Structure 1
Amino acid sequence: MNTAQRLGYGSKERLLIVNADDFGLCRSVNEAVSELLADRAISSATIMMNCPWSADAVNMHMASCPEADVGVHWTLTSEWTAYKWGSICRNHSTASLSGPGGWFPKTSAEVERNADSEEVRQELIAQTEAALSAGVKLSHADSHMGSLYGFHLGKDLLTVAFDVCARYGLPFRLPRRLIPVGGRTIPAEIGDRAKIRVRQAEDRGIVLPDYVTGPEYSLSEGDTYETMKEEGIGLLRQLLPGVTEWISHPSKLTEELRSFHEQPEKREMEARFWRDRDVRETVVRENIRFIGWKELQELQMSLSV
């Protein structure tokens, strides 16, 4: 039984959650995400509580779209050279999560190599509590740069994430089934470990999407909005029955974004994509139904009764 069926939909229905990652990263991202949420062009967003612009994101969320699904974007990396952030946990050591200068490390591989699992647990709790204390009614959780998944060295931190999800009643971004995107293949060891982790999550009552997809994060040489749109429409047409989460990174294209981001044009394209008439018409023609993370959260809550 897929997650769509567990939600009460038909076995062949294709349900889509479009999530905007990195809410709170900067003002340019906050404005784009808030507008897309208010217009219901996307389903949800996840907020980075470590970033200086997180309070601005919360304020925009409360002012323009308080009913929108907003989750916590658990963050353990700080990837940009000119813009940094670090741990917000104040009641427990997080020394193993610190890179040069005391900020989070640049890469997920560094997190896998050095992170102490208990320190990760305390940091995830601190980020979750910060969002709740700010007034956000969290609908789900996910992982910035996939630092919890063990993609690089095989040292995942997912059981820690499951503990925190269970504690706060949050469904989580972990696909029940892996699907290769962009011509990639999935190594056998990753596929086998993913099946174990899915089983562990579901044993804890944590509700997961069936699939996770989205366009390439970076532009390749020669890419334009039209080539990006073609890629995205192709992904929409290929959606499988069940619940799919689409990872998006929308932003307005501003000098602020250009000052630190290496792919600012791509973020503006992703904001534009979900307003594009051709994209919206494809969603209708393909009989794709938009849903939100709150539906998964309500299912999870029902399982805990």
Structure 2
Amino acid sequence: MANYRARTTGEALGYGSGERLLIIHADDFGLCHSVNQAVGELLDDGTVSGASIMMPCSWAKEAADWCAARKEVDVGVHLTFTSEWEPYRWGPVSHTEAAPSLLDPQNYFPRDCRTFELQADPAQVKAEARKQIEMALQLGLQPTHADNHMGSLYGLETGRHFLPVVFELCAEYGLPFRLPRFVTGDQGQAAPPELAEQARQLAAYAERMGVVILDYLVTLPFRKQEEETYESFRQSMKQLLAGIKPGVTELYIHPSYVTEELLAFHGSPEKRGWEKQIFREPDIRQTLVDEGIRVIGWRELQQLQRAGKA
């Protein structure tokens, strides 16, 4: 047993044990028109290989309509339970009377994950997540996966997570889910290393439920860092790509056009503009080639899940 090594999702997909597979993912599709324009362009030209829609947001229908006309794109549901910007808020797609534990005093979602984790009722979380998935289906989207806005479902702030109910829905709808099997504490890891054991336990639970998950999840800081420039951001992205491990990794970004619309509510708009451009840079594309990284989409994981071979 000492030599046992869990099979990676990459190996389950049929790739070799040393293959480095990367999903380049655009979060927050549907947040606003400026984001929709950027994400749509990046999906159209293959700069990113996946995206997910925030169904409670005002521009979700535009994003879903765009996807419904392009069945080939890999787009999932960005399960949303927080509403972080002060000037622009959103709440459940369920009737608020059916989801009181998901609301702040103004009947929006809470602005932070800690508040959500402490007050949310799991049954209401499950019902709202179902409503968001059903809304996507009703708008003509054929979702390839599910993930989570701000990590609110992972219990990162208080330890109180909601993943069992999410796994039940993902098994029911045939959706793989954004959860890393391995947490190492390396640069770019989206979860702290002290959660490594919990990640292993949750990965085993997902496997028992028949839900396909990632091997690794990485990103760079969401907000512009002190003294950060586009050039330093580009160098950080190169370093992040060089550290990609064998298996399936998702690297998620938040691209947008920087417009008056975005400036009206967003706390770090310039960084979103950088993230719209970064994977179009020739040296970043060349880094993927030089590192031998194969870019894939969520559809491969969904096909694996629906075939029951996870």
TM over 0.5: yes
Contact 1:92–1:122, Cα closer than 8 Å, also in 2 = no
Look up the equivalent residue of 2:95 and give its one-letter code: R
> Do residues 62 (structure 1) and 68 (structure 2) align?
yes
1:181 deviates by 4.5
Look up the equivalent residue of 1:5 and give its one-letter code: E
* SS of alignment partner, residue 206 of structure 1: coil
Q: Which residue number corresponds to residue 12 of structure 1?
A: 18
> Do residues 46 (structure 1) and 86 (structure 2) align?
no
Work out which of the residue numbers 85, 90, 93 in structure 1 matches 2:90: 85
Q: Which residue number corresponds to residue 35 of structure 1?
A: 41
Contact 2:74–2:297, Cα closer than 8 Å, also in 1 = yes
Work out which of the residue numbers 142, 148, 156 in structure 2 matches 1:151: 156
* SS of alignment partner, residue 127 of structure 2: helix
When the two chains are superposed, the root-mean-square deviation of aligned CA atoms in Å is: 1.6
> Do residues 120 (structure 1) and 120 (structure 2) align?
no
Structure 1 segment 181-196 matched on structure 2, within 5 A: 181-182=186-187, 186=192, 188=194, 190-196=195-201
Give the whole-Å Cα distance in 2 for the aligned partners of 1:36 and 1:175: 24
1:304 deviates by 7.2
Give the whole-Å Cα distance in 2 for the aligned partners of 1:176 and 1:296: 14
Work out which of the residue numbers 218, 234, 256 in structure 2 matches 1:251: 256
Give the whole-Å Cα distance in 2 for the aligned partners of 1:93 and 1:301: 31
1:100 deviates by 2.5
1:220 deviates by 1.1
* SS of alignment partner, residue 234 of structure 1: helix
Look up the equivalent residue of 2:181 and give its one-letter code: R
4+ residue runs over 6 A deviation: none
1:90 deviates by 3.4
* Aligned residue pairs, count: 303
1:179 deviates by 2.8
1:59 deviates by 2.3
Deviations 1:127-186 (A, max 9, x none): 000000000001000010000000011100011110110110000000010132448883
Give the whole-Å Cα distance in 1 for the aligned partners of 2:89 and 2:97: 21
Look up the equivalent residue of 2:254 and give its one-letter code: H
Structure 1: which 5+ residue stretches go unaligned? none
With normalisation by structure 1, the TM-score equals 0.96
Q: Which residue number corresponds to residue 285 of structure 1?
A: 290
Give the whole-Å Cα distance in 2 for the aligned partners of 1:49 and 1:269: 25
Give the whole-Å Cα distance in 2 for the aligned partners of 1:93 and 1:191: 35
Give the whole-Å Cα distance in 1 for the aligned partners of 2:145 and 2:28: 14
Work out which of the residue numbers 261, 266, 274 in structure 2 matches 1:269: 274
Q: Which residue number corresponds to residue 138 of structure 1?
A: 143
1:213 deviates by 0.4
Q: Give the direction of change, closer, same or farther, for the CA distance of 1:131–1:183 in structure 2 (3 Å limit).
A: closer
* SS of alignment partner, residue 175 of structure 2: coil
> Do residues 299 (structure 1) and 304 (structure 2) align?
yes
Structure 2: which 5+ residue stretches go unaligned? 1-6
With normalisation by structure 2, the TM-score equals 0.94
